[in-house]
Amino acid sequence: MIVPNKADKTLKKVCAKITDRRTQIHHCELDADKGYLWATNGHIAARLKVVTDERDTSGPISQESIGAAVAVQKATNQKDAQVIANGGLDIPHGPSFPRPETKFPDAASILNNVSDSTEKLAVTIDVQLLHDLAAALSHDGKPGKVKLTFSDHTGIKVTNGTENIGLLMPCRD
């Protein structure tokens, strides 16, 4: 599997932290047949398109192996970071890792249920603007949880449980 660009950093934000009791989501999951790499922390999930190798088989992929593949890529000036996911997780010109023995949640089924449901609303937003607005609404300048309220008005009302209020305008596709 070719490791997606910056995946060593971005997947850490999507996978559960190693201290999480749910060990099955500490790692990513490769669907070698469809060419997808899944990650979740139980609150958010991501499905990334990946290029697989004919030797790859579906199953868990450790964050450690992805990080090692990126490190080897940088050290050897290779075009791509790669993990060969078969009986183990082998990094070309680098170390090998055991394949984690966990059962990843059936994220594909959850996504299919969402995809099959009737679309009620679709809005394109600039996440950086939402991040900045969430920070501005907070008392300490750090973004936190916000509530998005949609109405028949174009703007999206943004609140955070305080008296502060924001407005986010949708973007064009």
Distance CA(107)–CA(87), nearest Å, equals: 23
First-to-last alpha carbon distance for the chain, in angstroms, is: 31
> Which ranges in the chain belong to alpha helices (H)?
7-14, 63-76, 107-116, 127-137
Confidence (pTM) = 0.80
95, 116, 137 - which closes a domain:
116
Place of tokens 């028949």: 152
Residue-wise pLDDT for 121-135, tens only, equals 888 889 999 999 999
Residue 114, pLDDT above cutoff 80: no
173 within some domain: no
- Confidence band (pLDDT; 50, 70, 90) for 107? confident
- Confidence band (pLDDT; 50, 70, 90) for 31? very high
- Confidence band (pLDDT; 50, 70, 90) for 67? very high
Domain co-membership, 112 together with 136: no
Residue 65, pLDDT above cutoff 90: yes
Residue 90, pLDDT above cutoff 80: yes
Domain co-membership, 39 together with 100: yes
| Interacting residues of 59 by C-beta distance below 8 A, sequence separation 6+ | 29, 30, 85, 99
Number of domains present in the structure of the chain = 2
**What mean pLDDT, rounded, does the chain reach?**
91
Structural domain including 151 reads: 127-168
What is the bridge-based pairing of β-strands 156-159 and 147-149?
Answer: antiparallel
Over range 137-142, report the average pLDDT.
89
